[in-house]
Amino acid sequence: MGWEDELFALFDDLEAEAGSLHAAERDAEVADRSRAEYQQVTLASRLMASLGTEVTIDVVGIGPLTGSVERLAEGWLLLSTGDHDWVVNSRLVGAVTGASVRSVPEVAWSPLTRLGLGSALRRISEAGERCLLHLRDGSRHEGTLRRVGADFCELAEGEERRVVLVAFDALAAAQSRA
């Protein structure tokens, strides 16, 4: 092998080494960017990507619920467990298992997702159906929702129709009784 061949072999080795160093540097940069971008992903965006998917969610005051995510909106989600539908206060969701690995950014959501927890409870109230309100402290109230205010709902409970006011901040979920 002549000196020219050795020189070209040396250049090839140096070029390969530079290429692998560049690839390693690029991989590190891509990983850093991925981590930086992922901090923009919310739990709600992961749940939005999970619509129609069976998940298990742990809800403060209730425990684990397994069902299909049917709807997601501002501060609440609708979970269908087969026997019952649950309007869950998403602020009290502690953990989720089985969610999609993808996310849907909020800019891609329907304008209807801006309807808050009060809107979901008003639908239950308008239907006149009995429901079971689960509170974050584990207590429960069963009855018929009468009216829904800005930050609370009014439940007619028991045969004596005793009125109970429940603050949204205390409400973990409303469970259908149908």
In residues, how long is the chain? 178
pLDDT, tens digit, for every residue of 15-57? Answer: 777 777 667 677 666 556 656 777 888 999 999 999 999 999 9
DSSP secondary structure of 84-126: -EEEEEGGGEEEEES--S----GGGS-GGGG--HHHHHHHHHH
Determine contact, residues 168/89, Cβ cutoff 8 Å: yes
Q: What is the mean pLDDT of residues 131-155?
A: 96
- What does pLDDT average to over the chain? 88
In angstroms, the CA 54 to CA 97 distance is 9
| Nearest one of 135, 143, 136, 140 to 160, comparing CA atoms | 143
Predicted local distance difference test score (pLDDT) of residue 170:
97
Give me the residues paired with residue 174 across strands.
Answer: 87, 133
Predicted local distance difference test score (pLDDT) of residue 20:
75
Predicted local distance difference test score (pLDDT) of residue 35:
65
| Alpha-carbon distance values, 97 to 43, 54, 121, 137 (Å) | 12, 9, 26, 23
Predicted local distance difference test score (pLDDT) of residue 32:
61
| Nearest one of 136, 137, 138, 120 to 176, comparing CA atoms | 120
Helix (H, G, I), strand (E, B) or coil at 138: coil
**pLDDT confidence of 97, banded at 50, 70, 90?**
very high
